[in-house]
Every structure is written in C-alpha cells, then in structure tokens.
Amino acid sequence: MPELPDLEVIKEHLERVLPGQRIEGVELLRPLVVRNLLQGDFVSALEGRELSGVRRRGKFLLLDLESGEKLVVNPMLAGRLHYCEPKERRQKKTFVILHLSGGMDLRYVDAKAMGKVYLTTDPNLIPGFARQGPEALDPELTLEAFQDRLRRRRGEIKGVLTNQAVLAGIGNAYADEILFRAELYPFRKRPSLSAEEVERLHDAIRSVLSEVIVTLRERVGDEIDVKVRDFLEVHGKGGTPCPRCGTIISEIRARNRLTNFCRTCQPGTMIAG
C-alpha cells in the first residue's frame, strides 16, 4: 500500500510534469473506483480542464484543476498512477485514463479495485479526509505535540501509529520499519511506553520516513507506478536474519494484517484481545 514516502515521491514527480497540461480526453474504462461528489458527469467535468498543481495529504494525492475542482486519489492497497506514452500497453486493471495535452497519459490502475478516485471541490467531504491528524513529517509535530497526541490512545502502539486520525501517512509497512528502528514490540499497549520510549518512537518516525524518501527519490525516478520495497529492514522480510542482530525476523498475522519484527531487538509478549 502506498504510504507517505511512496506518495511523496510520486507527488514530486507529478508536480514536475502535470501543472499546465490540459486534460484533452478522459476514458472511464471502469467506473467502479470513481466517486463524483459534484453534480453532473465525471468525464465532461474533466475534459478541457487544465491541471494546476499536485499535493499530498496523508495517503491521498490531490490533483488540482485550474477551475477549482480536485481529483483526489486514495490508492488504498494496490492503486497506482501511471504516467506514460499513450502507446504503452494498458494494464488489465486500468480504470481511468486522462489524455494530456503534452502527449502523455495519466492512468489509474488498481489490481484490487479498492482505491478511490474522487472528484470534488472540497476534499473535506471525502470519507476519512477531514479527520486526519497532522502529517507524520510535519515540522510542527514536536516531541511535546507528539506526546500530546498519544496521551489519549490506549491501544497497541502499531495500531496507534497507523491510525490516520493520530498521524497521517503511516501504514502497515512503515509502521513495522519505525518500530524496528525504535526497538519497540509492535503489540505493546501505548500506556506501557516510557517517556524515553516515546521519544525514541518520535525520532524513529522522522528518521525512517525521511531516509526512505531519499532512497525512493533515487530508486523510483520517473517509474511512479513501480512499488519499491526491497530495501526495507523488517517489513516483508519474515524468515530472514535481522540486519541488526541476526535473529530470524518474525511474521505474525494479527489484527487482520501482517506484522514483521525482531523478537530480540523488539522484545515483548502479545496480550490477547
């Protein structure tokens, strides 16, 4: 699932190429993922419009139209944007294609069809958008502000980190990476964390996410539809040695998702419930 660092790098790329281009044609191949929050027809609302900017908020990517509307993409598990030549072969699960005045296509592809493409003038009308907490890399999210946001949360720390109302942008993969960096067991209840551990977590959020953005900038380049995850330290690395201590990395399916961690570097015991 694209998370803050993935979407940030995609945003940076699209920001370089999209603004100033006009949408000359729209192919709505599968309307399933489209949520038009405006009156009228999705295709005719877009045709002839000019793209003016690209932004990111949490796990949402916002394409601004000069006329004031926004196309807001929430890729969920498997959504991808593909910026390519029109002659490039269309992937099977292509839902929407924008033909752009610069001669390229912007395509939304989604193997699981769980993502959404919204058209709206007000992103706050999008489910889950307005209730997002501060960006995980917001410079104003100081240690004190972070402690404040955590104080009311009583659940497991991984669940707290991936709760978009607490912090926007962290999903399953980078939560595992952050907790590994902070040397915290993912299923520890938040109230059991000491002040020193909360500080370690705050540091790890900053360092992991900003390092990953640098790595992805180099690795992804213009190929924004390709997911690069092979450099992660623990997530997706179950059964391989921990890069820090050599213990075999654990893989647990709990709370409906896969969690990877090192039992030596991140000691703890899961409490049922």
Which residues make up the interface to Zn ion (CB under 5 A)? 242, 244-245, 247, 262, 264-265
Can 186 be counted among the known catalytic residues? Answer: no
**Annotated active-site residue in 49, 59, 107, 181:** 59
Tokens 């909360």, located at residue: 198
Cβ nearer to Zn ion, comparing 240 with 247: 247
Closest separation between CB of residue 241 and Zn ion, Å? 8
Question: Quick one: tokens of 144?
Answer: 């004190």
Can 87 be counted among the known catalytic residues? Answer: no
Cβ nearer to Zn ion, comparing 60 with 180: 180
Cβ nearer to Zn ion, comparing 244 with 257: 244
Can 227 be counted among the known catalytic residues? Answer: no
C-alpha to C-alpha distance for 246 and 203, rounded to whole angstroms: 24
C-alpha to C-alpha distance for 93 and 110, rounded to whole angstroms: 6
**Annotated active-site residue in 2, 5, 75, 186:** 2
Closest separation between CB of residue 118 and Zn ion, Å? 41
Closest separation between CB of residue 259 and Zn ion, Å? 15
Closest separation between CB of residue 248 and Zn ion, Å? 9
DSSP state string for 130-163: TT--SBTT-TT--HHHHHHHHHT--SBHHHHHT-
Closest separation between CB of residue 262 and Zn ion, Å? 3
Cβ nearer to Zn ion, comparing 147 with 247: 247
C-alpha to C-alpha distance for 214 and 23, rounded to whole angstroms: 31
Cβ nearer to Zn ion, comparing 35 with 244: 244
Can 253 be counted among the known catalytic residues? Answer: no
Active site residues: 2-3, 59, 257
